[in-house]
A = this chain, B = another copy of it.
Amino acid sequence: MLSKKTKYGLKALAFLASQPDKKPVQISEIAEKENISQKFLESILLSLRKTGFLGSKKGKGGGYYLLKTPEEISMTDVMRVLEGPIAMVPCVSLNFYETCDDCPDENTCSVHKLMLQVRDSALEVYRSNTLKDIIS
């Protein structure tokens, strides 16, 4: 299941990408238009800023804005930051790899074999979509 954090983060990014100009948008505006708890959104935008997706401007007329153009923002990167691993099990994760305690051999593990394919297919979707692609 997709976490609300990811869902809201994606919606916020899409909202910013849909702005006619590059002026900063206030948290309160995004929260209201996208039906998101303002405080929760605050923490999400903060993490998107710390990971280089967003810039922010303080003071009157401040807010958040995209640091890159929508077509430069890959869903792979966004998903990894918001949702974490793309793989459904750590033993097939590229960026968050861990061995399974219970599994004696990955190469003969059925779960491993199936989840490897699922990961690859998800990655292909994320790689072929930028923020631009998912805004209408």
Q: Could you tell me which A residues sit within 8 Å of B by CB distance? A: 1-2, 7, 10-11, 13-14, 34-36, 75, 85, 88-89, 101-103, 107-111, 113-115, 117-118, 121-122, 124-126, 129, 134-136
Contact between chains at A2 and B34 (CB < 8 Å): no
Min CB gap A36→B, angstroms: 7
Known: A88-B2, A89-B2. A135 touches B110 (CB 8 A): yes
| 11 cross-chain CB contacts under 8 A | A1-B89, A7-B89, A10-B114, A11-B111, A14-B110, A35-B101, A36-B102, A107-B136, A110-B135, A118-B125, A121-B122
Q: Which residues of B contact A103 (CB under 8 A)?
A: 35
